[in-house]
């Protein structure tokens, strides 16, 4: 998908809509920088007039800083998406307890917005290069320094 295809109308057209996406940038703050493009394989199916099902995968790699040692590390995201899409006008009236619901204007549906939301929700809160990075390590016992040991050894 080129960056020129931004929105489409989910209320029109044939379903399912199958998309192989490639996004070169992302508009998210407070996460690492995008190392490679975001690849997505998404299928949107019609359930009813204002209800759609979206499933697929999103894969990408970010470069971020380890929160302990501040070294650059790669954060691989390999996400499986399985969510419901509803019109944003229904958000306040929606009494469903479904957690995986994405709300957006269905007539101007922006697939990039959906992908950015999925990345933001699944990006790790704590980024570490390894699980035990900078934990207190046992200090090796050093031999005591005897400043006159050589002289003592010579005398003996």
Q: What's the confidence (pLDDT) of residue 2?
A: 43
- The string of pLDDT tens digits covering residues 81-93 is 999 999 888 776 6
Looking at the predicted structure, is the pLDDT value of residue 33 above 70? Answer: yes
Spans of all domains in the chain: 7-135
Q: Please, which pLDDT band fits residue 98 given cuts at 50, 70 and 90?
A: low
- What pLDDT score was predicted for residue 4? 46
* Long-range own/partner contacts, residues 27-31 (CB < 8 A, 24 or more apart): 27/116, 28/116, 28/119, 28/120, 28/123, 31/62, 31/64, 31/119, 31/120, 31/123
2 CB-contact burial (10 Å; exposed 0-12 / middle 13-18 / buried 19+): exposed
Whether this model's pTM surpasses 0.85: no
């Amino acid at each position: 998908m080129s960056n020129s295809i931004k929105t489409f109308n989910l209320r029109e057209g044939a379903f399912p809509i199958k998309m192989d996406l490639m996004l070169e940038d992302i508009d998210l703050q407070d996460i690492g920088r995008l190392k490679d493009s975001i690849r997505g394989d998404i299928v949107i199916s019609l359930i009813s007039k204002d209800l759609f099902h979206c499933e697929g995968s999103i894969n990408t790699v970010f470069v971020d800083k380890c929160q302990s040692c501040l070294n650059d590390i790669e954060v691989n995201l390999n996400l499986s998406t399985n969510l419901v899409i509803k019109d944003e006008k229904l958000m306040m009236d929606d009494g469903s307890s479904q957690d995986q619901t994405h709300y957006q204007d269905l007539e101007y549906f922006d697939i990039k917005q959906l992908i950015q939301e999925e990345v933001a929700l699944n990006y790790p809160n704590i980024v570490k290069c390894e699980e035990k990075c900078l934990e207190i390590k046992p200090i090796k016992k050093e031999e005591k320094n005897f400043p006159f040991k050589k002289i003592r050894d010579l005398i003996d």
